[in-house]
A and B are shown apart, each in its own frame.
Chain A
Amino acid sequence: MMALIRNEWMKTFAKKSSWVYLAAIILAILIGGIFYQKMGPDDNQNWQAESQAELASLNTQLNESSEMDRRWLESRIEQLEYYLEENINPNAKNNWDFMNEVVIGVSALVTLFVVIVCSGNVAAEFSDGTIKQLLIRPHQRWKILLSKYISVVMYSFLLVSVLIAAGYLIGLIMFGSGDFNTKVFEMGIDGQKVSEAGPQFFQKIIFYLPSLLMIMTISFMLSTLFKSQALAVGIGIFVLFFSSTLGGIIVMLADRFAWAKFLIFPHLDLTVYALQDEILGNITLPLSLAILGVYYAAFMIITFGFFEKRDISI
């Protein structure tokens, strides 16, 4: 088994694309860093006076504005008051702010690459015809498939590790070392809450991992079901982009039909739990995880069952 995984690992890194994805993540973080540095408000010293001035102008606006605007204004006032009270410069940026706001955004790119790599993995063996040479070896089919699965999981986690490590280093160089517990405001559906940048970042990453594993597994399943690499990758990316759209539709459906809550799409993105405790009215994190677990088992059974039975006639 170890030999099979080593083989898969060797093949992964013999492909140029595997290195390109790693480089692209570092590059994306770098570009993100440059924008983060240039675009934000200046980090000046008289932030207290500015905040006071903004607060005063917001308060006058509050009386004149409509109901819609008022909510936004109130939350902004609350933020400014909090900063003044705690004596935190809201415009100061450090590496943990960067991690929490920018590096997390780059994780979407990680997901995209994971979909491409996973959905290409088995399908490429079919489209290149190498699957024939692979399956005439003295190894059970499920072992060969499992070694491929493990190797794509390892590669995906390598991408995530590179994301975190490169994010930390680039953040450190560009924004300096900041307080791990820097206070930040995060917007959720139930309104804003105060959190700490470092823990918040790691919480988001931890919520991101199960979603990533699910998307990986779905892509891998597609890769096994389709002989064509292009088709597998195409459908994988389609699912990736439409899952959030579908998730939105399902939120509406869930009000009317209880079963819609058990569809996979609203649970694919668990990072919402970093901001709120319940989704779809009454679904909590353990329940979401349980639903994902059931889907995971189903996908694995389909993938391995199909591969075990399949006639290789290419």
Chain B
Amino acid sequence: MSNYALEVHSLTKKIGKKTIVDGVSFTIEKGEIFGLLGPNGAGKTTIIRMVVSLINRTAGEVIINGHNLDESFTEAMSEIGAIVENPEFYKYMSGYKNLLHYSNMAIQKIPAERIQQVTELVALEQAINQKVKTYSLGMRQRLGVAQALLHNPSILILDEPTNGLDPQGIREFRDYLRQLTEQGVSVLVSSHLLSEMQLMCDRFAIIEQGKLIHISTMNESIGEQEQAEREVTFETSNAENALALFKEAKFVNEIKAIKGNFITIKMDKESIAKANRLLVENEINVYEISSVKATLEDRFLELTNKEKVGQTL
């Protein structure tokens, strides 16, 4: 068996003369949550739909858990569980019948208990025999998760999964995903909600105008390594004196900003403690020391060189 849950090699999609996706390659390890980021229209959805074979590929290959999509379609597709945008169901049938419908489509026979099991996992026992048209969006999303997990897939593919979910729903959803990855399931997720992706993903790729322009782990990207210098903000009773002390101190490399009683300095982890002691020994009260975390958004904007992009792009 392959080491990777998903391998995508030089995936390309052309419609007419327009290139929608241009030679995108990436791999996803087992148990990893991998995010595809990018502004609307960058080609994230097209990539995902090519992986789940809803859209034909112009070029490139997709290997799912060692099965090439072109050579062994059935085996490859059996490994996938997916929610493509909002999960749509047959509204005139009950949630249970919808799940039964999808379980009938699996190659490996799914035991009846499995439907019960996934229903419990997504906490829909109460509503499972009601028609789907009576479900709220959050319930539909949960039913979507249930249908995607029904056949124990090795990779979950989610396109904009948190669209239309309320904050609590998003939180629950994230917890499900974490639980699943602990069981070795990998996740490919696309979104334009950066803050959401920051909380969810282990690794991510940035797609812009159909090209993969950056790929890294979330920690690398937002600078959380132990030894790296980081920006730290001190709130003190006397900013002027504190500043003077910092300027003399050897361990302070760079003073980034001063704003009222707040001083932002770039330093490594050990220096934070030294700076604190220095202030206290000089009878300056320290109210707060906080590290300024670079957000994925900052990183994203830096990478895509976009000015004035709102939070949801």
Residues of chain A at the chain B interface (Cβ within 8 Å): 3-4, 6-7, 10-11, 14-16, 128-130, 132-140, 309, 311-313
Q: Which of B85, B91, B93, B105 contacts A137 (CB 8 A)?
A: B105
Q: Is the CB of A7 within 8 A of B53?
A: no
What's the least CB distance linking A24 to chain B, in Å?
Answer: 19
Q: Is the CB of A138 within 8 A of B90?
A: no
Q: Is the CB of A136 within 8 A of B101?
A: no
Roughly how many angstroms separate A6 CA and B6 CA in the complex, as a whole number?
32
Q: Is the CB of B101 within 8 A of A7?
A: yes
Q: Which 6 A-B pairs have the closest CB atoms?
A: A129-B88, A138-B77, A312-B54, A137-B105, A138-B78, A311-B55
Roughly how many angstroms separate A265 CA and B35 CA in the complex, as a whole number?
55
Query: What 1/0 mask marks residues of chain B from 33 to 72 whose CB sits below 8 Å from any chain A CB?
Result: 0000000000000100100111110000000000000000
Contacts of B145 in A (CB 8 A): none
A130-B88, A132-B54 as given contacts; A139 in contact with B93, CB under 8 Å: no
Roughly how many angstroms separate A14 CA and B53 CA in the complex, as a whole number?
28
What's the least CB distance linking B260 to chain A, in Å?
Answer: 52
A7-B101, A10-B97, A138-B107 as given contacts; A313 in contact with B88, CB under 8 Å: no
Q: Is the CB of A313 within 8 A of B101?
A: no
Does B251 count as interface, using CB distance less than 8 angstroms?
no
Q: Which of A11, A138, A312 contacts B101 (CB 8 A)?
A: A11
Q: Is the CB of A14 within 8 A of B92?
A: yes
Roughly how many angstroms separate A312 CA and B102 CA in the complex, as a whole number?
19
Contacts of B52 in A (CB 8 A): 136
Contacts of A3 in B (CB 8 A): 104-105
Size bracket of the B interface: 20 to 34
Roughly how many angstroms separate A16 CA and B92 CA in the complex, as a whole number?
9
User: Residue on A with the closest CB to B88?
Assistant: A129
Known: A6-B104, A132-B85, A140-B73. 9 other contacts (CB 8 A): A4-B104, A4-B105, A10-B101, A11-B90, A133-B87, A136-B84, A137-B105, A138-B76, A313-B54
Contacts of A313 in B (CB 8 A): 46, 49, 54-55
In the complex, the number of residue pairs spanning A and B with C-beta atoms less than 8 Å apart equals 80
Give 12 pairs: A residue, B residue, CB < 8 Å, sorted on A: A10-B93, A10-B97, A14-B92, A132-B85, A133-B102, A136-B52, A136-B82, A137-B77, A138-B105, A140-B73, A311-B56, A313-B49
Roughly how many angstroms separate A7 CA and B97 CA in the complex, as a whole number?
10
Does B74 count as interface, using CB distance less than 8 angstroms?
yes
A15-B92, A138-B74, A312-B49 as given contacts; A129 in contact with B86, CB under 8 Å: yes
User: Residue on B with the closest CB to A16?
Assistant: B92
Within 8 A of A (CB), among B169-223: none
Does B292 count as interface, using CB distance less than 8 angstroms?
no
Does B123 count as interface, using CB distance less than 8 angstroms?
no
A137-B105, A139-B105 as given contacts; A132 in contact with B88, CB under 8 Å: yes
Contacts of B89 in A (CB 8 A): 130, 133
Contacts of A136 in B (CB 8 A): 52-54, 77, 80, 82, 84
A4-B105, A14-B97, A139-B74 as given contacts; A133 in contact with B88, CB under 8 Å: yes
What's the least CB distance linking A300 to chain B, in Å?
Answer: 21
Q: Is the CB of B102 within 8 A of A137?
A: yes
What's the least CB distance linking A122 to chain B, in Å?
Answer: 14
Does B106 count as interface, using CB distance less than 8 angstroms?
yes
Query: What 1/0 mask marks residues of chain B from 132 to 169 whose CB sits below 8 Å from any chain A CB?
Result: 00000000000000010000000000000000000000
Roughly how many angstroms separate A245 CA and B74 CA in the complex, as a whole number?
47
Roughly how many angstroms separate A169 CA and B121 CA in the complex, as a whole number?
52
Does B75 count as interface, using CB distance less than 8 angstroms?
yes
Q: Is the CB of A7 within 8 A of B90?
A: no
What's the least CB distance linking A129 to chain B, in Å?
Answer: 3
Roughly how many angstroms separate A94 CA and B55 CA in the complex, as a whole number?
59
What's the least CB distance linking A125 to chain B, in Å?
Answer: 9
Contacts of A6 in B (CB 8 A): 104
User: Residue on A with the closest CB to B75?
Assistant: A138
User: Residue on B with the closest CB to A124?
Assistant: B90
Contacts of A4 in B (CB 8 A): 104-105
Q: Which of A14, A138, A140, A311 contacts B93 (CB 8 A)?
A: A14
Contacts of A138 in B (CB 8 A): 73-78, 105-107
